[in-house]
Amino acid sequence: ARRMNYIFDDSAHKDLPLSPGRRCEDGTCCDACSRNIFPTFLLENESNMQTFPELASFTFNELQTCSSATILQFTRMVERVRRTMAHEYGLDLSTILPLQAYSRKYVAGTTQQGGGGGEGDFVTLHTDEATHSGYHYSCVIYLSTQGEDFEGEDFVFNDPKDDDDEESDETNENELPILSLEDEIRRTGRKLTPFHPTRGAAVIFSSGWENMHEVEKITSGVRYAVPCFFTTCPVPEAAYDQMVVGKPKSDEDIADDWLHLLLAHRQETPQEAVGRVKELLMKWHYMCAPLSQH
């Protein structure tokens, strides 16, 4: 099935069906597609793992023992991405919401098991919209620097070659390294555009076929990153009606939502945590924008 659970292994990406074109199923995406690299999306102090050590394994589902400073910093990061996407793609800010965001640890010599937050040493070629039909815009924020914290593991966009690329390849054929059969198959007819991760950088792109990508294998060290995915699918009004407290109507309501959904530090069952995070993501715009923009 094209729609998949959040919990699946990296190796499952290869089984996802891919179809050309931008689907934006049930959403309100703009016509534009792009990819953007921001070398200094976060300031030095914002991505400091000593200041915010819990960024190494952050998830909205487990906040009981997480410091308020880290929760607020992670929320600020996701909101900055959301506002950057709204600006880049000309979207009304209220129409774009986070659907998934978490910290991810990549460790040399490991294989991911059991979901997006698990350790692994690579991510196979895929498109995010094929992973989940609600993923319309994607981002990866980097908390580690290649060459200092780890080796290998470029983030690579994988595109069809055009005629100019083919001519360039013929000219440089004698300079190419000897490749394995697997790499030859991967590269044939394709143009690979690598990005070398540095701490505080971010890659933001539209999530469809136009931005097929992969993460090459990490060869040593540990890399931390924050993948986040956004949707333009509107939240049904009935979903707010089913909440104990629906849309906030005052600044006091917004403050209550921040306390209840992010900063309560209470013990929860997994089911309670899932319900809280679902409500958080649906209310995200109302919590992060002034009443005048609701």
Q: Which of 2-16, 29-43, 54-68, 278-292 has the lowest mean pLDDT?
A: 2-16
pLDDT at 182: 66
- The angle formed by the CA atoms of residues 43, 46 and 49, to the nearest 5 degrees, is 125
Question: CA–CA separation, 211 vs 129, rounded Å?
Answer: 10
Which tens digits make up the pLDDT trace of 203-221? Answer: 999 999 899 999 998 999 9
Query: For residue range 217-241, what is the model confidence (pLDDT) as tens digits?
Result: 899 999 999 999 999 999 999 999 9
Instruction: Count other Cβ atoms within 10 Å, centred on residue 133.
Output: 19
Q: What's 99's DSSP letter?
A: E
pLDDT at position 92 is 95
What was the pLDDT predicted at 49? 92
How many other C-beta atoms lie within 10 A of the C-beta of residue 156? Answer: 18
Helix (H, G, I), strand (E, B) or coil at 155: strand
pLDDT tens-place string over residues 122-159: 888 889 998 888 999 999 999 999 999 999 989 999 99
Encode pLDDT of 151-188 as tens digits: 998 999 999 887 665 555 554 555 556 767 667 766 78
Closest CA to 66 of 78, 77, 54: 54
User: Which of the 8 DSSP states describes residue 262?
Assistant: T
Q: Is the pLDDT assigned to residue 24 strictly greater than 90?
A: no
Ranking 4-18, 37-51, 103-117 by mean pLDDT, the lowest is 4-18
Taking only the tens place, the pLDDT of each residue in 269-278 is 999 999 999 9
CA–CA distance from 178 to each of 125, 183, 244 (Å)? 21, 10, 62
Comparison of pLDDT for 253 and 16, the residue scoring more: 253
What is the pTM for the complete model shown? 0.86
Q: Please state, rounded to an integer, the average pLDDT across all residues of the chain.
A: 86
Instruction: Identify the pLDDT of residue 2.
Output: 41
Confidence band, pLDDT 50/70/90 cuts, at residue 3: very low
Q: What is the DSSP letter of 150?
A: E
Quote the CA–CA distance of 83 and 96 in Å, as a whole number.
9
Q: Say if CB 176 and CB 121 are below 8 A apart.
A: no
